[in-house]
Amino acid sequence: MDTNKILKDNEIEANQLLTKIILVTIGIVAITWLLFETGFFYIRVQFRGLMIFNILLLATVAVISRIYKYEKGWIKYILMGSMTIVFAVTTSALTYNVTLLIVIPILMSIRYFNRKYSVFIAILSIIVFYIAYLYGANHGMLDMNFVQYTPGTVIVTNDNMWLDDAVIDIPYDPVLMLFNTTVSNYFVKLLQFIIISAASLALVVCCQGLLQKQKELTESTARIGAELELAEKIQSDMLPTIFPTFSGQKEFDIYASITTAREVGGDFYDFFMIDDDHLAIVIADVSGKGIPAAMFMMTAKTTIKDYALTHNSTSEIYTIVNDRLCENNEAEMFATSWIGILNIRTMIMQYTNAGHNYPVLMRKGEPCEFLTDKHGLFLAGLEGTQYTQSEIQLASGDRLLLYTDGVTEAHSKDNAIYGEDRLKNLINDTADEPGETVLSRILDDVNRFAEGAEQFDDITMTFLMIKDF
């Protein structure tokens, strides 16, 4: 994240906003001028020159700002400087009626998130408005009744006009007027200026602090995102992704897919040849989500494969793997898993189910069924667990689907569950379709079912097809 770019973009937006405010101010001044000239307001002072000056100054800086597309660094100074001057000039003639104008430039400067700039505008406002008050007290309006006078005249009043008792019938005294303007009038406003300026600067500092925190958070998020992207690549590289994987095998085809709920997931699948005659197939679902689940997934996958390459019994493999995963498992993570070892000569598959979803078996020409054997607790659940195994004879045209609960437990926006029956019906309708088409249809059907609802779990599937031979 580039802080300078953020500040630059913010400055351009602030310049645009200030230009709009100036255009609105021009409209207000023009309307006020028209009302004065038409006599709608009763006033003894002619404001024609003041109005023309305000309109010309504001219009000029607005045009300059637009010509340079609000991008130059000095634009904010001429925008706010001209606004400060216009408000100050107006204050010199309408001292009491437009008191709130004094705070606008300072408050508007906060929008730039620039401490030095806000200090500059505060100092400029204090100086310019003091000059305006001083000029207004000596050459402009004495009170709310807009009593006009010039130096050297004697102030005269009547019962219909309100004036401070201290100035009734008192000759004009420039020294006394200067003292009263500075001490009695402007001193209080100076204190207000200082308080408003201090509060404004505090807000600017707060904005800068928030911007710095946003920068750090964005950088941290970007770093985490890069690390997650790398972790996702590492995880995907660990899984077979080229299908059919064993293109040289005439006995079977195998396909798989995984759709993670987050950047990295806890599901995994694997299949590999133990030797020339034995194919191992594994699927697992690790508890939890994100990085911890992904790390445990990689440990479990590696451990299962290591022991599968050296042991021929699925029950023995999972008994040993379970004990290894229970060691130093302070996070108390676990994984449901299913492993099968197929003898491609005899087509006998032995398998062990460690608390995982039931696989779906489709015999050629028959409706599909679930292999409902369970042979033990999930992996890393309890050290010393002894797993058992089952065997099944496969034949030409048989198919076997392994999947995680992200399929059957997918939720719709109405909180309905996809379920096993819907999965079985879909598989029965795909009896003659290729393996990759079957997986694609299942995933599409799950996505349609869950449309409008957030994917809460990884969706992983493996599909084994025994070829006709």
Q: Do the beta carbons of residue 286 and residue 298 sit within 8 Å?
A: no
Q: Are residues 188 and 313 in the same domain?
A: no
Give a yes or no: residue 151 inside a domain. Answer: no
Question: Does residue 49 belong to any structural domain of this protein?
Answer: yes
What are the DSSP calls for 367-433, one per residue? --EE-----BSPBTSSTTPPP--EEEE--TT-EEEEE-HHHHT-B-TT--B--HHHHHHHHHTTTTS
Looking at 164, 185, 219, the residue that finishes a domain is 219
CA pair distance 319, 308, nearest whole angstrom:
11
Long-range contacts of 442-451 (CB under 8 A, 24+ apart): 442/403, 442/407, 443/257, 443/259, 446/407, 446/410, 446/418, 449/410, 449/412, 449/416, 449/418, 449/422, 450/410, 450/411, 450/412, 450/413, 450/418, 451/412, 451/413
User: Within this chain, do residues 335 and 444 fall inside the same structural domain, yes or no?
Assistant: yes
Same domain, 340 and 443: yes
What pLDDT, on a 0 to 100 scale, did the predictor assign at position 453? 80
What is the domain range of residue 101? 3-141+173-219
Do both 304 and 377 map to the same domain?
yes
Q: What's the token pair of residue 4?
A: 């300078």
Q: Is 453 exposed, middle or buried (0-12, 13-18, 19+ CB in 10 A)?
A: middle
How many distinct structural domains can be found in the chain? Answer: 2
Say if residues 98 and 87 touch (Cβ distance below 8 Å): yes
What are 352's strand-pairing partners?
339
Same structural domain, 41 and 181: yes
- Examine residue 152 and state whether it is found in any structural domain, yes or no: no
Residue 293 domain-assigned (yes or no) = yes
353 located within any domain:
yes
Is the model's pTM score more than 0.85?
Answer: no
Residue 441 burial (C-beta neighbours within 10 Å; 0-12, 13-18, 19+): middle
* Same-domain pairing of 267 and 388: yes
Tokens of 197: 């300026």
Cα 119 to Cα 203: distance, rounded to the nearest angstrom = 12
360-362 β-sheet, strand order? 252-259, 459-466, 399-403, 360-362, 369-370
Close Cβ partners of 464 (under 8 Å, ≥ 6 residues apart): 252, 253, 254, 281, 342, 399, 400, 401, 402, 435
Interaxial angle between packed helices 75-93 and 3-37, expressed in degrees from 0 to 180 and rounded to the nearest 10: 30
pLDDT at 2: 54
329 vs 324: CA distance, rounded Å: 9
Whether 185 and 322 map to the same domain: the answer is no
Would you call 268 helix, strand, or coil by DSSP?
A: strand
* CA nearest to 336, candidates 463, 465, 460: 460
Same domain assignment for residues 186 and 261: no
Q: How far is residue 284's CA from residue 381's CA, in Å, rounded to a whole number?
A: 14
339/201 same-domain check? no
- Asked if residue 298 belongs to a domain, the reply is yes
Report CA torsion sign: 134, 139, 142, 145: negative
Are 214 and 257 members of one domain?
no
Q: CA 56, CA 190: separation in Å to the nearest integer?
A: 29
Q: How far apart are CA 284 and CA 302, in angstroms?
A: 12
From 219, 253, 284, give the residue that closes a domain: 219
Examine residue 228 and state whether it is found in any structural domain, yes or no: no
For residues 207 and 257, state if they share a domain.
no
Contacts of 373 (CB under 8 A, 6+ apart): 351, 353, 390
Q: Other C-beta atoms within 10 Å of 465: how many?
A: 19
Report the CATH number at residue 352.
3.60.40.10
Stretches in the chain below the pLDDT threshold 70: 1-3, 41-47, 94-99, 137-178, 180-181, 183-186, 188, 192, 227-228, 230-237, 244, 247-248, 262-265, 469
Q: 76: which 2 tokens? A: 């904010």
Residue 233 lies in a domain: no
The widest CA-to-CA distance across the chain, in whole angstroms, is 125
pLDDT at 159: 43
Residues 291 and 394 in one domain: yes
